[in-house]
Structure 1
Amino acid sequence: MEETMIKCNNVSFKYRSHEGEEERYAVNGVTFEVKKGEFLVVLGHNGSGKSTIAKHMNALLLPSEGTVIVDNLDTSNSENLWRIRAKAGMVFQNPDNQLVATIVEEDVAFGPENLGVDPEEIKRRVDESLKKVGMYEYRRHAPHLLSGGQKQRIAIAGILAMKPECIIFDEPTAMLDPSGRKEVLSNIKDINERYGITIVLITHYMDEAAQADRVIVMDDGKIILEGNPREVFSNVKKMKEIGLDVPQVTELCYELKNSGINIDTNILNVDEMVNALCQLR
């Protein structure tokens, strides 16, 4: 039986946007689990609650109602805080906000140093983490001279050096150009597949979600769809209703089906589309 890494049970989070205003729900009654070793994407447009739920997964936020359990540790117990953050690292949208040192290897060493790791072990972890993200040859470079994608890979290395079991990525490619996005996503997939680290990726990009094991779609603080990418993206009408796209080939199949052509709408990429069209002959 698969073990659970994170369990959110009936989680709600309320906030006041301005003094005197009534409380609003950013997250409203959300329940789901993340399995160990899974690559889960949480998808939604801005304001859907996806980033708020992400910050609950390593106790940056605590639920107003409900519970969040990270590897059997309840986030509401303040004594669990450091253990939770050692297990579940977080990478944010802007890599510049996460880089703290003037040399790449010093930046990657920052996390394990704060955990009190032995200096020899830190050096080994820094080298290992930089190799995992393909940035070892840049170890003596200044981070501010690197590209956006490279900076984000250094931020990922800094989390890897802390030896987490899970990494939560809160829109890590939102500020990158297409090539930076591609290199960071390929890195994330590699970390998941090669090292078995659990990944939770918060995004609004369909092509990123299409590569996950499972996708959760949020809207207005609630989960409205859940399943593997094929199951989720075949709900073209529902996705469009909440202002999200689906992969272009999936939408094309949906339109062809609506025009009376008998074609599978469970299609995610161009090769599958070509095969489906060939079978129509």
Structure 2
Amino acid sequence: MEHIITTKNLSFKYQSSEDTQQLVLKNLNLEFEKGQFIAIIGHNGSGKSTLAKHFNALLLPTEGKVYVKGMDTKDKNLLWDIRQTAGLVFQNPDNQIVAAIVEEDIAFGPENLGIPPDEIRERVEYALKVVDMLQYKDYAPHMLSGGQKQRVAIAGIIAMKPECIVLDEPTAMLDPIGRREVISTIKKLNKEEGITVILITHFMEEAVNADRVIVMDDGKVILDGTPREVFKEVKLLKKIGLSVPQVTELAYQLKEEGFDVPTDILTVEEMVRFLCQYA
């Protein structure tokens, strides 16, 4: 499989003050396959958002390398190509929406790339259709709900035609309805549009949807595997201050009480099927 993003011995330090530095990422070696849906989880301060900012060169490694489709993020001449390949969606959509009308906001990125007007119109319509927001193209963004704003922010990235979208806790500020809207959009981008998705999240139920889950703690990767492989490690996840999906927690508690329950149950449907065997 083709690797769209690769990190080699990646370490990163923030300058805390004039003479002190804080090591946030520690010698990370990761490969992300094209077309995958990857979730990265970890408690606050684990380094996951710092890592995300390396994927489109908002931050550059203190040591080591990050390659986006083979392009070194430290090469300033490749910056635009890197950011066209890997788009970044922030936690707060208000920080990403720049125009007074939805349609104009989606067009902003392609316009800055010098795309011809006819193609811009096609890209805007396509992007809005993908996120199911075409009917709101003439709306002012401030009139939209949080979930709708975030979908507009995602559409603005889609209009740039990236091969990879990195989403840094895009549902953290949303209510449950908004979260469902955004996660549905993310899944559609991955499964129907073939876009590689890297989702930074602290909602375990969102990570269940991924092909691969990476768990970070203190700037290092401590677990990396399928959701089923990762979330069955309940004790380890709890030790570093993370929860697991509620139904997985239920299975774990039943197992602790002596019931013969699989520890890798991820969904309510799986739990229902298991319990029905004993009905």
What band does the TM-score fall into relative to the shorter chain? over 0.9
Q: How does 1:231-270 map to 2 (within 5 A)?
A: 231-270=229-268
Report if the CA contact (8 A) 1:263-1:277 is conserved: no
Structure 2 gaps, min length 5: none
Residue matched to 2:76: 78
TM-superposed deviation, 1:107: 0.3
* Residue 114 in structure 1 maps to residue 120 in structure 2: no
Shift of 1:31: 1.1
2:67 counterpart letter in structure 1:
I
Find the aligned partners of 2:161 and 2:76 in 1 and give their Cα distance: 21
Report SS of the residue matched to 2:58: coil
Aligned partner letter, 1:83: D
The yes-or-no answer on 1:63 pairing with 2:44 is no
Match in the other structure for 2:10? 11
Aligned to 1:23: 21
Code of the aligned partner of 1:70: V
How many Å apart are 1:259 and its aligned residue?
Answer: 1.5
- For 1:273 and 1:206, the matched residues in 2 are separated by 17
Deviation at 1:280, TM superposition (A): 4.5
After superposition, where does 1:83-94 map in structure 2 within 5 Å? 83-94=81-92
Distance 1:49 1:266 in 2: 26
Equivalence for 2:207: 209
Shift of 1:18: 2.7
Q: Deviations over 1:244-268 (max 9, x none)?
A: 0001111111111122111111100
- One of 152, 156, 159 as aligned partner of 2:157: 159
Residue by residue, what CA displacement relative to the aligned partner does 1:176-234 show, whole Å, maximum 9, x if unpaired? Answer: 11100110010010011001000000011101101000000001100000100000000
Q: Which residue of 2 aligns with 1:192?
A: 190
Task: In structure 2, give the amino acid aligned to 1:18.
Answer: S
Paired residue type of 2:85: K
Partner SS, residue 244 of structure 1:
coil
Contact persistence 1:130–1:154 (CA under 8 A): yes
Secondary structure at the aligned position of 1:195 is classed as: coil
Q: Give the count of matched residue pairs.
A: 279
Residue in 2 aligned with 1:54? 52
**Counterpart selection for 2:123 from 116, 122, 125:** 125
Letter in 2 for 1:172: P
Which residue type is aligned with residue 210 of structure 2? Answer: A
Partner of 2:38: 40
- Structure 1 counterpart SS, 2:192: helix
Q: Which amino acid aligns with 1:128?
A: Y
Is the 1:263–1:280 contact (alpha carbons within 8 Å) kept by the matching residues of 2? no
CA contact (8 A) 1:86 1:163 kept: yes
Which ranges of structure 1 fall in alignment gaps of 5 or more residues? Answer: none
The aligned counterpart of 1:149 is 147
Counterpart of 1:17, as a letter, is: S
Instruction: Indicate the percent of aligned positions where both proteins have the same amino acid.
Output: 62
- Which whole-Å CA distance do the structure 1 matches of 2:264 and 2:175 have between them? 29
SS at match of 2:7: strand
Q: Does the residue aligned with 1:277 lie in a helix, a strand or coil?
A: helix
Quote the Cα distance in structure 2 between the aligned partners of 1:23 and 1:96.
31
1:230 aligns with 2:228: yes
State the shift of 1:110 in Å: 0.1
Name the structure 2 match of 1:99: 97
Distance 1:192 1:97 in 2: 24
In the TM superposition, what is the alpha-carbon distance from 1:85 to its structure 2 partner?
Answer: 0.4
Q: Secondary structure at the match of 1:179?
A: helix
Structure 1's 280 and 25: CA in aligned 2 closer, same or farther, altered over 3 A? Answer: farther
Query: Could you tell me how far 1:16 is from its partner in structure 2?
Result: 2.2
- Aligned CA-pair RMSD: 0.9
